C-alpha cells in the first residue's frame, strides 16, 4: 500500500514517531513522501514561545530551545539506515530514500496537486497543524486517517497528553481514526492505551507515546490493506474538547505533582 504522510517539522515530539515507524515499517509499506509544514503551522512564533515557556518554565524552555538548536545543527549531518539517532525529519527521510517535501497549508492547490502526483493509496496525518478539507480529504482512494493521542471522543483538540494527566487518568489513549471535515470526529479504526509511569514527566510521556503510536498506526494500516479494518463511530455525546492550558490551569496541574520536563 502506498502512503503519503502529512505532518509538521518538529524534532522534539514528531520525529520520534517517524523514527520508530521508518525503522520498523519502511519495508512494509511504500511511503511516497512526507509532506512537512512548519511547526504549529500558522501559530505565531512569539505566541508559541510564550505558551511553551508558561508550561515548561524558564529553565525547561531553555532546555527545549537547546534541543531544537542542536537538532538543527546535527540534522545537517549525513546519515543512513544504520544511524543510531536522527535529528531532523529531512535527515531521517534522506537516510530511508523517502522524499521530505516542505509544505505550507496542505489544503492549498499547490499542495493538493503535489499530493495527487505522489499517487498514494492512503494519506496519513501525524500532528498536521491544519484542519484538512476537500479535496485533500478524498484525494487518495483509501481516504485519510489521523492519529490522536487520546481516547476519542474524549480529549479532542490540543495538548491531549497534558489534559489526560490533569484529569487524573492513569493511562493515555491512542486513537487512529478516519479524518472528516470536523476536528477529531471521524470513526475510530483502532484504540489503545499506554500506562503513565509514576513520576513521568510530560516531555517523556509525549515522546514515549509517539513511539508507541507508530506501531498503532502500522497495525491500522495493515488492517486497511487487508480489508479487515472496522470503522467504529464515536459517541460524541461523551466527548470533550480542550485548547492550550491557561496559566491558572498549568499552575493547578503542577500542584497535582506533575512536571513538564
Average pLDDT, integer, range 237-258: 96
Residue 100 phi, psi dihedral angles, 5° rounding: -110, 110
Where in the chain are the domains?
2-255
Question: Is the distance from CB of 153 to CB of 132 less than 8 angstroms?
Answer: no
Q: What is the pLDDT of residue 46?
A: 85
Average pLDDT, integer, range 207-211: 98
**218-227 tens-digit pLDDT:** 999 999 999 9
Q: What is the pLDDT of residue 17?
A: 98
DSSP state letters, 10-75? -TTTTHHHHHHHHHHHTTTSEEEEEEEEETTTTS-HHHHHHHHHHHHHHHHHHHHHHHHHHHHHHT
pLDDT above 80: residue 42: no
pLDDT above 80: residue 52: yes
pLDDT above 80: residue 201: yes
Average pLDDT, integer, range 110-122: 96
Q: What is the pLDDT of residue 178?
A: 97
In the DSSP assignment, the letter for residue 103 is -
List the one residue out of 122, 117, 136, 158 whose CA is nearest residue 1. 122
Domain 2-255: CATH architecture, name and number where available: 3-Layer(aba) Sandwich (3.40)
**In percent, how much of the chain has pLDDT > 70?**
100
Q: What is the pLDDT of residue 47?
A: 86
Which runs of consecutive H residues, i.e. helices, occur in 75-195? 89-95, 109-118, 160-166
Q: What angle do CA 25, 172, 241 make, to 5 degrees?
A: 110
On average, the pLDDT of the chain sits at 95
pLDDT above 80: residue 190: yes
Q: What is the pLDDT of residue 45?
A: 80
Q: What is the pLDDT of residue 169?
A: 97
Greater model confidence, 48 or 242: 242
**79-106 tens-digit pLDDT:** 999 999 999 999 999 999 999 999 999 9
**In percent, how much of the chain has pLDDT > 90?**
93
Which runs of consecutive H residues, i.e. helices, occur in the chain? 15-25, 45-74, 89-95, 109-118, 160-166, 202-226, 247-255
Amino acid at each position: 500500500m502506498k502512503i503519503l504522510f502529512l505532518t509538521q517539522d518538529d524534532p522534539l515530539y514528531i520525529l520520534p514517531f517517524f523514527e520508530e515507524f521508518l525503522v520498523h515499517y519502511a519495508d512494509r509499506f511504500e511511503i511516497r513522501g512526507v509532506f512537512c509544514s512548519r511547526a504549529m503551522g500558522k501559530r505565531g512564533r512569539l505566541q508559541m514561545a510564550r505558551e511553551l515557556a508558561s508550561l515548561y518554565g524558564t529553565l525547561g524552555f531553555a532546555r527545549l530551545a537547546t534541543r531544537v538548536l542542536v537538532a538543527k545543527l546535527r540534522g545537517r549531518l549525513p546519515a543512513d539506515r544504520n544511524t543510531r539517532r536522527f535529528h531532523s525529519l529531512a535527515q531521517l527521510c534522506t537516510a530511508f530514500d523517502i522524499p521530505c517535501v516542505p509544505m505550507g497549508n496542505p489544503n492549498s492547490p499547490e499542495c493538493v496537486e503535489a499530493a495527487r502526483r505522489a499517487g498514494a493509496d492512503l494519506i496519513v496525518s501525524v500532528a498536521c497543524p491544519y484542519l484538512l478539507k476537500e479535496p485533500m480529504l478524498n484525494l487518495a482512494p483509501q481516504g485519510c486517517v489521523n492519529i490522536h493521542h487520546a481516547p476519542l471522543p474524549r480529549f479532542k483538540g490540543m495538548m491531549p497528553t497534558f489534559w489526560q494527566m490533569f484529569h487524573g487518568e492513569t493511562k493515555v489513549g491512542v486513537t487512529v481514526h478516519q479524518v472528516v471535515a470536523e476536528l477529531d470526529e471521524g470513526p475510530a479504526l483502532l484504540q489503545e492505551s499506554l500506562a503513565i509511569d509514576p513520576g513521568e514527566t510530560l516531555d517523556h510521556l509525549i515522546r514515549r507515546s509517539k513511539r508507541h503510536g507508530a506501531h498503532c498506526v502500522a497495525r491500522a494500516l495493515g488492517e486497511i490493506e487487508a480489508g479487515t479494518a472496522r470503522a467504529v463511530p464515536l459517541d460524541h455525546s461523551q466527548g470533550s474538547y480542550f485548547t492550550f492550558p491557561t496559566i491558572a490551569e498549568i499552575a493547578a496541574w503542577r500542584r497535582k505533582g506533575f512536571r513538564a520536563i
